[in-house]
Amino acid sequence: MQLKRSKKTADVVLPFERPLVDMEEQIAAAETDEARAELMAQRDAQREAIFANISPWERVLLARHPQRPRMRAFVEHVFDDFVELHGDRALGDDPAMVTGIARFQGQTVFVVGQQKGVDTDEKVRCNFGMAHPEGYRKALRMYRMAERLGHPVITIVDTPAAHPGIDAEAHGQGYAIAYNLLESFKINTPILSIILSEGGSGGALAIAVGDRIAMFENAVYVICPPERCAEILWRDVEKKEMAASALRVSAADLKELGVIDSILKEPNGGAHRDLDSAAASMVTEIESFLAQAAAGGWKLADRQARFQQMGQWLDSVPELPQEEPEASAEEADGSESKAKEDAETADVAE
């Protein structure tokens, strides 16, 4: 598939990337090609070392990078002829939840995903990717349409959480998410879910119940943001780094736990460094999933079973000290008689 080329954007530097910026300045100031080539080799080696050993909290920062590509950017790069569909047929539309029909290598697919926004105006309009109940009902409408027409669904998850406002609660936020979860286990068509950047709380899970779950290398998938976790557990938001480690937010941790199935490779430095390369990883994953689905490699019962098995564990049962069996009435009488005889014998001996 021919990928659409991305436009280069200005760099935003994260704290752990500062040594790379210093190296770039040295490269720019190099006077000879030989010196420049040597410095570039050192920079590449340093970048490899930095990103191979970033902490869980640094991975959270990378997932939240202001220039990280958003859902619409991937839709533009990966799919053809995308036609956006609006409205939940009940209350209204939600710009935070983007849904529609597209073609992937000639095959019709339904696309559902969260859009955080790129510039300030879009971020406000999309509520930073935090969907309202209207968005989740719209997503479910796409699921049902895809099932009715016999097309697979591709979901792209990118949200810190569902919108927590009073208006969302008044419109049935909790019920909308719970109902999406319930219905996702009944939709009889293949579903591939891809965690793009942040997958936060039920707002992410509402469109992340699928037959296959993929996750980008520098994305995070959590029950709540590390900052909130630190406030809840330790009453100290400054312990967010400890919370990020405890939450096991990374794709590698979640694959080990069986929460996700595959990790999508990102270019060195993150998806924002090379959108085309990141999009190519998504293309490969979708190709594999659709080929497997076409060959009958998915079952609704398997989707239900895999989520039912999540979160189960077995603890070893500690051995309790053995209690002495209670003596019967006859044994008790015999013991008392024996004690009296011993006492009488001792008196005679004296």
Cα-based angle 230, 71, 108 (whole degrees, multiple of 5)? 135
pLDDT, tens digit, for every residue of 250-269? 899 999 888 999 999 998 88
Residues 6+ apart with CB under 8 A from 301: none
The model's pTM is 0.80
- Distance separating alpha carbons of residues 162 and 338, to the nearest angstrom: 77
Look at residues 310, 301, 266, 259 and name the one whose alpha carbon lies nearest to residue 285: 266
Q: 3-17, 88-102, 175-189, 304-318: lowest mean pLDDT where?
A: 3-17
119-143 pLDDT per residue, tens: 999 999 999 999 999 999 999 999 9
Stretch (H or E) spanning 310: none
Q: Cα separations (Å) of 281 from 128, 250, 267, 284, 287?
A: 25, 18, 10, 5, 10
Give the position of tokens 């998806």. 271
Which amino acid, residue 139? A
